[in-house]
Chains A and B, each alone.
Chain A
């Protein structure tokens, strides 16, 4: 049985008014352990993470990194990041998501992740989101339910942003300095 190491299972980008902007799912890789992610299940998970953001908001006045939001079971854990503009980035990590490339990496599955392991991924996600805002064809108000009076809340359609999120999700591994 090969050792397993953590990989990103899902990335969720949620807007200021708790409207989902983008959800990306990454299946578990490695022979014998392949598993597709259920979109509905992960939508529920991301939804539940919003409550944790709200609960911790008053006490967390400094910093953007919310760290470990919630550990669902032995395999799945949710990490969160809040930007200055109220956009929430949530990453769901599967502790046994891929085959371990090195023996040390295999031990991480048992030891667990540190908050700082995911910081590069969050920064890369924030960079991608800033890149999206620099696109003049992306109008944030169109995706904001309060501004469009209920006819909006569309998901992000920019291919470049979606590809960048996919790249981050697939290439991240623990111990990476820059994604």
Chain B
């Protein structure tokens, strides 16, 4: 399709007046997103740990070095490098005292045992768990802002927060997850609960029923990480429409997912 008055004919899937989302590409991307966030966080955490280890090691090295140098100082004096040795001791003593002041904060790093689960994904330690969730939420936030700009092009302007939430339930969910939200509850005081009985990213997850209840719980725990990105998308989309919210997601049973949206100053 080409229009003679336009400078560049837009490809069919890039027309901003008729926007489309590549659904299967998005599904694969969402699946990969969680391990990606985990790997990023693990790497950053490992690098931070390495730096802290080095700090600590250099501090202890300086302390032991100063002790040995003091011990061998008499020998060095005889050798003639006494002054250099003394100078070195002085410097290292200062260095160690300076490091002692800042190294106290670096003692928080205990070895994180990063094992691997049966599927080959890195097991998250407690510390990195929070940062992974935060990172996923931040990614979703930026995506949500972009999405709302592009896809609310021809829709009427939302005047109340309820209108904005309705846009999320109907239009945004249809675009990103190919279905609408099944249930929307509100207490009319700023809290909204969105329920999706067959949440798309969770719909294809397997649960190891052989282990009984424990398997279901383990699956829920793993599924929890996949809910943070959609939380961020909702938060970003609402922020784009001018509604500041906090979003929490939970799942009691695969594939149902519940999203709790609280606007600022809401009373539960």
Residues of A within 8 A of B (CB): 16, 61-64, 82-86, 123, 126-127, 129-131, 133-134, 136, 139-140, 167, 176-178
- Asked if A177 and B5 sit within 8 Å, CB to CB, the answer is yes
- By secondary structure, the B interface counts as loop
- Asked if A130 and B156 sit within 8 Å, CB to CB, the answer is no
- Asked if B157 and A139 sit within 8 Å, CB to CB, the answer is no
- Asked if B153 and A126 sit within 8 Å, CB to CB, the answer is yes
Q: Which residues of A contact B158 (CB under 8 A)?
A: 84
- Asked if A64 and B5 sit within 8 Å, CB to CB, the answer is no
- Asked if B148 and A127 sit within 8 Å, CB to CB, the answer is no
Chain B residue nearest to A136 in the complex (CB): B142
Q: Which residues of B contact A123 (CB under 8 A)?
A: 17
Q: Which residues of B contact A140 (CB under 8 A)?
A: 142, 145, 240
Partner of A178, one of B3, B16, B149: B3
Beyond A84-B155, A85-B152: 20 further Cβ-contacts under 8 Å? A61-B156, A61-B159, A62-B156, A63-B157, A83-B149, A84-B241, A85-B149, A85-B240, A126-B153, A127-B16, A130-B16, A130-B150, A131-B16, A133-B145, A133-B149, A134-B146, A134-B150, A139-B142, A140-B145, A178-B5
Cα A167 to Cα B7 with chains together (Å): 11
Interface residues as binary, B240-260 with A (CB distance below 8 Å gives 1, 0 otherwise): 111000000000000000000
In angstroms, how far is the closest chain B Cβ from the Cβ of A172? Answer: 12
Chain B residue nearest to A86 in the complex (CB): B242
Q: Which residues of A contact B153 (CB under 8 A)?
A: 84, 126, 130
- Asked if A178 and B152 sit within 8 Å, CB to CB, the answer is no
Partner of A130, one of B149, B157, B242: B149
Cα A86 to Cα B142 with chains together (Å): 17
- Asked if A61 and B157 sit within 8 Å, CB to CB, the answer is yes
Q: Which residues of B contact A177 (CB under 8 A)?
A: 5
Q: How large is the interface on B (under 10, 10 to 19, 20 to 34, 35 or more residues)?
A: 20 to 34
From residue 92 to 131 of chain B, which have CB atoms closer than 8 A to chain A?
A: none
Cα A126 to Cα B150 with chains together (Å): 9
Residues of B within 8 A of A (CB): 3, 5-7, 16-17, 142, 145-146, 148-150, 152-153, 155-159, 240-242
- Asked if A84 and B152 sit within 8 Å, CB to CB, the answer is yes
In angstroms, how far is the closest chain A Cβ from the Cβ of B263? Answer: 16
Q: Which residues of A contact B242 (CB under 8 A)?
A: 16, 85-86
In angstroms, how far is the closest chain A Cβ from the Cβ of B70? Answer: 50
- Asked if A129 and B6 sit within 8 Å, CB to CB, the answer is no
Chain A residue nearest to B146 in the complex (CB): A133
- Asked if B6 and A64 sit within 8 Å, CB to CB, the answer is no
Q: Which residues of B contact A85 (CB under 8 A)?
A: 148-149, 152, 240-242
Q: Which residues of B contact A133 (CB under 8 A)?
A: 145-146, 149-150
Chain B residue nearest to A61 in the complex (CB): B159
Cα A177 to Cα B6 with chains together (Å): 10
Candidate in B149, B150, B241 with the most chain A CB atoms within 10 angstroms: B149
Name 29 A/B residue pairs within 8 A (Cβ), A-sorted: A16-B242, A61-B156, A61-B157, A61-B159, A64-B157, A82-B157, A83-B149, A84-B148, A84-B149, A84-B153, A84-B155, A84-B241, A85-B148, A85-B149, A85-B241, A86-B241, A127-B16, A129-B149, A130-B149, A130-B150, A131-B16, A133-B145, A133-B146, A133-B149, A133-B150, A134-B146, A136-B142, A140-B145, A176-B5
Cα A63 to Cα B150 with chains together (Å): 16
Q: Which residues of A contact B152 (CB under 8 A)?
A: 84-85
